Amino acid sequence: MCGIVGIVGREAVADQVIEALRRLEYRGYDSAGIATLEHGRLERRRAEGKLANLRAKLERAPLSGSIGIGHTRWATHGRPNETNAHPHATARLAVVHNGIIENFRELKRELEADGVRFETETDTEVVAQLVSRNMDRGLGPVDAVAEALPRLRGAFALGFLFAGEPDLLIGARHGAPLAIGFGAGETYLGSDALALAPFTDAITYLEEGDWAILTREGAQIRDIHGAPVERPRQKIATQAYRVDKGNHRHFMAKEIHEQPEVVGRTLAHYVDLAAGRVVLPEPLPFDFARLSRLSITACGTAYYAGLVARYWFEQIARLPVEIDVASEARYREAPLERDGLTLVISQSGETADTLASMRYAKSQGQHTLSVVNVPTSTIARESSVVMPTLAGPEIGVASTKAFSCQLTVLLCLAIAAGRARGTIDAAEERRLVDALITVPGLMAEALTREGEIEILAREVSKARDVLYLGRGTSYPMALEGALKLKEISYIHAEGYAAGELKHGPIALIDESVPVIVIAPHDAVFEKTVSNMQEVAARGGRIVLIGDSKGAAEHGLDTLATVTMPDLDATVAPIVYAVPIQLVAYHTAVFMGKDVDQPRNLAKSVTVE
């Protein structure tokens, strides 16, 4: 997490640095800071909290340097106050850092023994002090960094600015992404292309262990051994990196409302409408027909997309699925079959645990297939096959449109697997494709329920605890509903398999706990109604997210019923994502919470 930026420019760069930080704020917003060279001297402005606080500081005390670095922080080491805000500096240099320096204690002890005094609680300060000490010993900036980098352990990206060096920035990538942008007489460093899109469409991604020396004229890249290397320059479609809220109050609202469009776009990419067939990237390095199982790994919402997909792969393709959260999968040392397949799901494509579990699968001789939203990300680049979700940049920290696009791609993949394994015939494939094609329209219809969901959200906002229940594919949707609500409203929420209720959680039910039941009228609907009965019998207040048939049949008193359009049960999770997201969104808005940047969270989780 954390976002870093650096610019060697022609005129004052502070405004550009702030614009890039605005685009990186999704990576963390505990504090922000900037350093520039003012007549060769390092000057910093730093502020606790959101970028707006730093902006206000800069208005009071502007910076005019034409070279600078900036940072937006998601705190790992040290409280999120101004002292711990980046850039960290000595008299010689300033540094911005994303990631963790795992051996910072050891380095700190060594430096302290050498008489260095530390001012902050961060791991980053050791980098500043280490390079500075190298310079005290007579090394120039480039050699001082070259000497320090191999001493740092962990996953990180760094950007350095040096006093008295108005045409030099150094960037280093070791486990966390870093891109270089090329402009006319200006060169840029950034955590991602999104940050650099306002300035340039020419980007080079550093590879693992690379570091780069930036001047106004361009960049010289070196590999982990210090040898000069060439890395490809890519042209990015800057239009695709537009980030504004349109007519919406929040990015999250905009992204929820974009879903019919982006799911439609994703579908068009994977479905041949005329032929009624799913189309996958070709050639695939593995054969679905020969797989004995599929391993899926991901984190958070992406993991829940994987849980939904497990039902699809098992039911449609009769392919056994093993799924685990990436933070466990990577350490379990699970035996994985050589030539088997691991599927990883990630919006950012940079989540450290997901990346590590994918690398583990590769080390076991598995093929890796990634479903990612950022096509230039590390996971996309390192996997054997990439199936992009075409959701466009997702800025709201709570994942919405990326989730529904993940589900769309995963259902297409399960259908293709079924075809390859001979578990569905052409007619069944066409039936499923026809159901998929209805999804954008059904999502648009689901969005028309927003008014009633807004009213329901007022009730939800009074609760201290909320339970979500579901069966079949609605069970992972219950987990996702609870995650969405807790992360942006801070109301305690849990999702349960409806049938598990009586094995413990039912003890929590009383009239103060809303129980949100996700239940389209599918093959398990009646079973879920029995669980709703159990809740009603104990005074629980039920909210049903279902359809008109189910609403007519269950015969129970509910606090509210959100009636979704009738649909094919297979595609229900994609469409039901909409009301689940709207409940969380309106509850949080009603409570006055910061829905786009909820406390303690960041969008791109590049620490373990």
* Binding interface with ligand F6R (CB under 6 A): 299-302, 346-348, 351, 354, 398-399, 483, 487, 605
Report the alpha-carbon distance of residue 512 to residue 452 in Å, rounded: 21
Verify whether residue 527 is a known catalytic residue: no
Residues of 456-467 as b/e, b for ≥16 C-beta within 10 angstroms?
bbeebbebebbb
Q: In angstroms, how far is CA 566 from the centroid of its own chain?
A: 31
**Minimum distance, C-beta of residue 214 to ligand F6R, in the bound complex (Å):** 28
Taking the least distance from each CB to ligand F6R, the nearer of 366 and 399 is 399
2 is catalytic: yes
Query: How far apart are the C-alpha atoms of 236 and 383, rounded to whole Å?
Result: 20
Closest distance to ligand F6R from the beta carbon of 89 (Å): 31
Amino acid residing at 410: L
CA 589 – CA 422 distance, rounded (Å): 48
CB of 171 to ligand F6R, least distance (A): 22
Unique residue bearing structure tokens 């991604």? 205
- Catalytic annotation, pick one of 2, 299, 405, 412: 2
Min CB(23)–ligand F6R separation in Å: 16
Closer to ligand F6R by CB, 578 or 605: give it: 605
Separation of alpha carbons 26 and 40, rounded Å = 32
Reported as half-sphere exposure (CB side, CA atoms, 13 A), residue 272 has a value of 10
C-alpha angle with apex 538: 533 to 539, nearest 5 degrees?
100
By C-beta, is 89 or 298 nearer to ligand F6R?
Answer: 298
- Give, in degrees to the nearest 5, the angle at Cα 339 between 335 and 344: 75
Q: Residue 394 or 429: which CB sits closer to ligand F6R?
A: 394
What are the DSSP E strand ranges found in 110-207? 154-162, 169-174, 179-182, 187-190, 202-205
What is the total residue count of the chain?
608
Pairing status of strand 3-8 against strand 67-73: antiparallel
**Shorter beta-carbon distance to ligand F6R: residue 481 or 546:** 481
Tell which phi-psi region holds residue 215, choosing left (phi > 0), alpha (psi between -120 and 50) or beta. beta
CB-nearer residue toward ligand F6R: 432 or 574: 574
Smallest separation, CB 250 to ligand F6R (Å): 14
Residue nearest to ligand F6R (CB): 300
Tell me how far apart the alpha carbons of residues 386 and 388 are, in angstroms, rounded to a whole number: 6
Coil, helix or strand for 96? strand
Minimum CB distance to ligand F6R, residue 301 (Å): 3
Burial of 330 (0-12, 13-18, 19+ CB in 10 A): buried
**Smaller CB distance to ligand F6R: residue 65 or 300?**
300
Cβ of residue 483: shortest distance to ligand F6R, in angstroms? Answer: 6
- Indicate which residues carry an active-site annotation: 2, 603
